Chains A and B, each alone.
Chain A
Amino acid sequence: MAPVVGIDTASIKDTNLKDLLDLLEGVRGKKVLFLDRTLSGPIGLFAKFSVLQDYGVDKIFWLDEPVTEHAQKNIVYLARCTVKNAYAIANQIKNNAKIPGQEFEYSVFLTPRRTLVCDKIFEDEGILGEITIRELPLYFLPLEPDLLSLELESSFEELYLRKDHTSIFYSARALMSIQRRHGLFPRIIGKGDRARKLADQLIRMRTEEDVEDGTGPGSLTPSSVLGELIVIDREVDFVTPLMTQLTYEGLIDETIGINNCKIELDASLVGPPQPQTQSGNVDGASSSRSPVPTASQKKRPVLLSSEDKLFDNLRDTNFAIVGSLLNKVARRLNEDYEGRHQAKTVSEIRQFVSKLGGLQQEHQSLRLHTGLAEEIMKQTRSEMFNKALEVQQNLVAGVDPSTMHDNIEELIARAAPLESVLRLLCIESFISGGLKPKDFENFKKEILQAYGYQHVLTLDALEKLGFFQSRITVAASTATRTSYTNLRKPLRLIVDEVNEHEPDDISYVYSGYAPLSIRLVQCVVQKPLMTAAVKGRRGEDGTNAGVNAGAVGWRGFEDILKSVKGTTFDEPQRGEEKAVRARNILNGQNDKKVTVVFFLGGCTFTEISALRFIGRREDAKRQIVIGTTAIINGNNIMKAAMA
């Protein structure tokens, strides 16, 4: 990845760690830590267990674990500021009070902030006087130098199913922290009703900050580092996450599941213990309770990050070519090892030995990824996987959906995972504006009989979400829908000739389907290319700059955007003339600016890959940093509906 010139994500990481350690240091002596399960992954991203140990953490338990004996006097809770957690903490403390002869000192660290509601619960439960409450302001967690996530696992469910806007508020806070550091985004561009809410919240926070901050010499001024902020509401394009991701990282996520950059693998695949992942991340901690797993079933967490150079090369490529890439690396590695025979003189041998560590590491990583690719291959070769793939590709391409129904029914009869069946049905519903009433009822019946009647609730949730609907419902509602039929042509959502080896278009991430969400981003950042597409010509590297070269925001695509669900907006943020100039003089006028693309409601690995692809193309003009509330895929979405 390119060296960081714009947003310094590493420093965000450092700040997160420092904040946590400061809190721990505030509690004198050894302590027992009770951790919110959903936080272990996010915290593992920046803090190792050994570091926590250095700061006196003696033992870690899950917050929902019943623990009746405590070795330490200090008990620390670290949890998200939810109502549920507040009650869990209160109950534990009240239970501990029944332990005779022991007195405890309680500290409660809430993240990302201390809330009035938690305070109120603690007060009502009568423990407010016994605890010291502090807050740990975790907002953005850098997953990669170009990828910031809030890691709010349930943000999708909250936003769209529960209509709870907490994650909008947190997203605004997170983006605000970037604005506070680097200045205002000169423009906030976006699509979708909730995206609009986020933009409003950002603007509100900015004005409030202006009022609040009596000390500052001036209000926030537009940044000279940042370019535009593009907010994409997930609602704008639900089809993309429902499709099966076909990049390497995307497929790992689809088949094994990536959580907070980590996957759980059979120990046999990982090979000999890797010191860096083994020596304990936070989540490996609570071994006290879990039954001793037998050696064969033992899973081991593996961190997937760009620090693994091989993975960094593979992650964004289409899975079809991963095999040959691995092959190439294997051969090169072999040659490198063979190099030892050429080493004749002592200094040559020394040179070789000094390379050896790197080679071994590479070897290790090669073994891991070969194993992983094989594991995935088992799935991608299966008949059911291919059948599902075929159905979805046909659906997005606009083939008459009724021809696909036999296939879907067969998948149901063969007990394919419910998630994958529902994903297909939802894609159909989105693309063709709902299912025909007869089909709709038939599939409902099929699913209930095949997977159980409890899925009445799942189907209801999907209907409420607008994922799986009958045409009657669709026709009756006044809400606008994203019309893939209208957009397919002008935005070139379907690309027939895909070059997976040397991709020339983002559609390679789904082997032929270009994610709508990213096409929209392209409308802003690659105007010439997209204009050409709209006019019907194949986009030829933007030689046809045309009239729109200097246009900004959505300019030139207003009509197309009418076929996409939700509000369209483009808000310039201006500052005082003088302050802007001062800032420009101080920082120099950067030609290359950072564009932040923020996904409200989550994004997929394929979308990240596609944006990186665009980023490489646009390298001269801008750097793209991706922000998201969480990383999602179709299975997560379906699981949310099933909950």
Chain B
Amino acid sequence: MTSAVSATADWEQLEDRFYRKILLYSELFGPDYDLNDYQIAGAPFSGAIALYKNDDVLQEFRSGAAQTKPSIEIYSSAGKLIRRIAYDKGPIRGLGWSEDEKLLVIAEDGTVRCYSDLQGDFTQFSLGHGVEMVRVKEVRFWSTGFVALLRTNRLVAVSRYDEPRPKYLADPSPYIEDAVIHSWAIIPPAYTLSRHVEVLLSTGSTIIVLDPTDAQDQDLQNGPFTNISVSPNGKYVALYTTQGKLWVIKADFQDKLSEYDSGMGSVILPRTVEWCGNDSVVIAWDDEVHMVGPQGHSLKHYYESRVHLIPDIDGVRLITSDKCELFQKVPDVTEDIFKIGATSPASILLDAVDQLEKKSPKADDNIQLIRSHLTEAVDTCIKAAGHEFSVYWQKQLLKAASFGKSVPALYSSDDFVDMCETLRVLNAVRYFEVGLPITYEQFIRLTPEKLIQRLVNRQQHLLALRVSEHLRLPTDRIYIHWACMKVRQSTDDEDSICRTVVAKLQGKRGISFEEIARTAYDEGRGRLATQLLNYEPQAGRQVPLLLNMEEDEIALDKAIESGDTDLVFFVLLHLKKKHPLANFFRIINDRPFAAALVESSARETDLELLKDFYYQDDRRADGAHVILRESMEAKDLQLKLEKLKVATKLLSDSKDHVLEAKALDESAKLLHMQETFERELNERFMGISVNDTIFRLIRTGYSSRALKVKNEFRVPEKRYWWLRLRALVAKRDWNEIEEWGKTKKSPVGWEPFFNECLAAGNTKVAAGFVGKCSNLGYKERLDMYMRCGLVLRAAEEASKGKDLEALEGLRSKAVGRDMVEVERLIKILKGGK
């Protein structure tokens, strides 16, 4: 690829544009590898290729290696075997890749395996919903998911692989003619209006568009279609009819863009129809390939053996048993420069370098010619270099750019430097040992980080590290992966593995030793795992693995250390399930943090556990409280009392809780009394307090019973007076109050009587108590009478207190007879002076 072949040697013109077929790698599989027998799937962005021997073709024995066990082989685009994966799940109905190069294998019974790192490690899930009975027929993939077509013509979609949730799409059966689906394709969610994957089904003469909730008939007349293919940008659909015609329409089925007659008629149907970029379609028969342009013209290529097509965003890879080619439209910048008779500034600039090498003065003439377009020319050269696979032409173009950019006074070299860096990376990964023939555009879309991940998955750790450092990207993942591989594959003894790994990784930021330790554990190297885990800086991370390793108490301690209650609780759940209760309690008892969590959660969800916990810890009072709570919540009186009894018993065992035990005794007594009252008085009493019981009894007129309660519970006199007062006021039993007021002494004083009656609006009764408040001064009493609206009485108080000023103040408030009286009092007071 380095020789100075003309840059246009592999170009072909179709309509007004050029296409090129670049030979990426040759001597791929060797001649005796018959690709006819294989199902092939290639990962997007020029990724790995998976091969699986077709079941449909009769098994045949190959020289030497008898095909006893079915297997999937993963190759690089250069034909280097990366991994052979044994597969025993029966017939494969779907083989495909996600954009991050996970290999998906879907078995006929709906079992999905997701191989995440090209190394045979997989996660497995099932399409569920009884798919194993129905059977999978075919599968179509997009960058992050797939749709499976079942034999019942139902479709199941999976849109992510980290937490797969298979979902049925709408049922198309009412639309399907004779239950035959001729062909189908999907539009990835990123390109649909509903933001959900849509499916195009060819049935009868028409096409059905299906999403999760709806099916819609597009009312086409030209079907049935044997092939459907959606362009990479989701905007166009290519349909191949049984008459051998190719139709290109818009994805909304509004416009037909072109029609092409393959000339094959209805006899020989193509194997595949795929898009090459977004503007042309490639139709492949067994050994013939037509490339159809936007106007319906075509280029034809012929091969000696079967050709497999692997579409990508900007082209299509053609795989035969001896070579791997890339078919793509020549990028505009490249066309600008190399097109025969090109006169673009960039092309003149490239020519200038040629002249320069020949030491011809024309070099400068060229520069002067394009002087005003120099920046543009340099940019174009840089871009074109990116699109070039030939190192020779890359160099030439960069030289041109370098020469050109030295002329203008100010030119930012950033793009130039970036491109140089990028090309170094691209050339390195395109090298046949690595076998990633990624194009510049794919590289930009894929991002350098993901490219590095791909290198790591191919065990190219050193290269990945160099690339990372070259592009100033983080290297932690590479180190971790390397260490995991080391742990998995090394045959050294565990100590030296640990030493090697630690020596290499210590002091590097972002290294998770937990991941490495987990790998060691999964490989059955328990001791190594423990050793490695000690280097994990995050306590929390160590926990799940420690649990797996049955290091339960260490796990609990680490969880506590992390301060994350969720983690602690998680460990506790695990321990509770695993250990006998006594043992479980023993573990938590000397860890207050954990014990508190158990206690508080048991309080909400598991009272029995809580009781056991208190019992084993000899916390009788706490245990009693749990039972008391149960008693309170019990509806049935008998049960209430029983529980109360148990609680009382538990409490009276401890000498610190004598008072409480007594209180509970009282409470049982109260319940008994209340039950009696309810029976006798037909009034609700159950569950209210002693005070409220007394209050209610008095208010409903059962004073003697109230007195009985008072004596039974030794309610202090003061409190009883208050209760009685409030209850009588509430009952508005003024007579009783006045009668009661004749008592000589009140333990609460008489103001409460005044206040309560006044607050209840009875000024007359209230006023009756003013006189009894002998402990108060005349001023307060005066004020009290005023609040009852009794000016005259207030005046009398004032005169008793010999307060002329107050008396005169009252004069204005008095009316009628009162005024006369007030005047008289004033006169007396004045006279008395």
CB within 8 Å of B: which residues of A? 28-29, 73, 81, 83-84, 87, 105, 113, 115-117, 120, 129-130, 132-133, 158, 162-166, 168-169, 172, 197, 200-201, 204, 207-208, 210-215, 383, 409-410, 412-415, 441, 444-446, 448-454, 456-457, 460
Contacts and interface: CB of A to CB of B under 8 A. Distances in A.
B600 A162 contact: yes
The 6 closest A-B pairs by CB, nearest first: A214-B510, A453-B667, A413-B722, A163-B596, A214-B476, A162-B600
A150 to B, nearest CB: 15
B700 to A, nearest CB: 17
B628 interface: yes
B573 A117 contact: yes
A550 to B, nearest CB: 35
B566 A83 contact: no
A424 B504 CA distance: 65
B573 A450 contact: no
Nearest to A441: B659
Contact of B566 (A117, A213, A409): A117
Given A213-B509, A410-B748, A165 B563 contact: yes
A456 B625 contact: yes
A271 to B, nearest CB: 30
Contact of B570 (A117, A132, A446): A117
B196 A28 contact: yes
B509 A214 contact: yes
Nearest to A212: B510
B551 interface: no
Contacts of A415: 691, 726
B765 to A, nearest CB: 18
A164 B596 CA distance: 6
Interface string B599-633: 11101110000000000000001000100110010
Contacts of B213: 29, 73
B604 A456 contact: no
Interface in B475-516: 475-477, 508-511
A453 B689 contact: yes
Contacts of B567: 116
B413 interface: no
Given A410-B748, A413-B719, A449-B690, A168 B563 contact: yes
Contacts of A168: 563
The residue among B563, B599, B625, B692 with the most chain A CB atoms within 10 A of its own CB is B563
B538 A212 contact: yes
Q: Taking chain A's interface residues, is the majority helix, strand, or loop, or is none over half, making it mixed?
A: helix
B278 interface: no
21 contacts: A28-B194, A28-B195, A105-B167, A117-B569, A117-B570, A129-B165, A162-B599, A162-B600, A163-B596, A169-B564, A169-B565, A213-B510, A214-B475, A214-B477, A409-B718, A444-B659, A449-B690, A449-B691, A450-B690, A454-B628, A456-B663
A211 B664 contact: no
A158 B569 CA distance: 15
Contacts of B196: 28
B597 to A, nearest CB: 6
B565 A166 contact: yes
Most buried by A among B163, B195, B663, B722: B663
B723 interface: yes
Nearest to B661: A456
A158 B128 CA distance: 42
Contacts of A29: 213
Contacts of A451: 689, 691
Contacts of A214: 474-477, 508-511
A73 B196 CA distance: 15
A201 B570 contact: no
Contacts of B625: 456-457, 460
Contact of B596 (A83, A162, A449): A162
A599 B831 CA distance: 70
Interface-central residue, A214, A410, A450, by most chain B CB under 10 Å: A214
A456 B565 contact: no
A357 to B, nearest CB: 42
A120 B575 CA distance: 13
A230 to B, nearest CB: 21
Contacts of B703: none
A454 B631 CA distance: 10
A410 B599 CA distance: 38
A28 B477 CA distance: 35
Contacts of A445: 659, 663
Contacts of A169: 563-565
Given A197-B563, A446-B719, A456 B664 contact: yes
A445 to B, nearest CB: 7
B801 interface: no
| Of A130, A208, A210, most B-chain CB atoms within 10 Å | A208
Nearest to B160: A132
B537 interface: yes
Given A29-B213, A214-B509, 20 more contacts: A87-B605, A117-B569, A163-B593, A163-B596, A164-B600, A204-B562, A214-B477, A409-B718, A410-B748, A412-B719, A415-B691, A415-B726, A444-B663, A445-B663, A448-B667, A449-B690, A450-B691, A453-B664, A453-B689, A457-B625
Nearest to A454: B632
A73 B691 CA distance: 55
Contact of A452 (B477, B538, B688): B688
Given A445-B663, A450-B689, A457-B629, A211 B605 contact: no
Nearest to B565: A166
A168 B565 CA distance: 9
A164 B689 contact: no
B509 A164 contact: no
Interface in B633-686: 659-660, 663-664, 666-667, 670
B786 interface: no
Nearest to A119: B570
Nearest to B719: A413
A165 B565 CA distance: 7
B832 interface: no
Given A162-B599, A415-B726, A115 B566 contact: yes
B687 to A, nearest CB: 8
Contacts of A460: 621, 625, 660
Taking each of B569, B599, B670, which has the highest tally of chain A beta carbons within 10 Å of its own beta carbon? B569
Contacts of A412: 719
A435 B773 CA distance: 33
B4 to A, nearest CB: 42
B510 A448 contact: no
B666 A208 contact: no
Nearest to B597: A164
A453 B592 CA distance: 30
B755 interface: yes
B33 interface: no
Contacts of B628: 454, 456-457
Contacts of B691: 413, 415, 449-451
B589 to A, nearest CB: 14
Contacts of A166: 565-566
B689 A449 contact: yes
A414 B659 contact: no
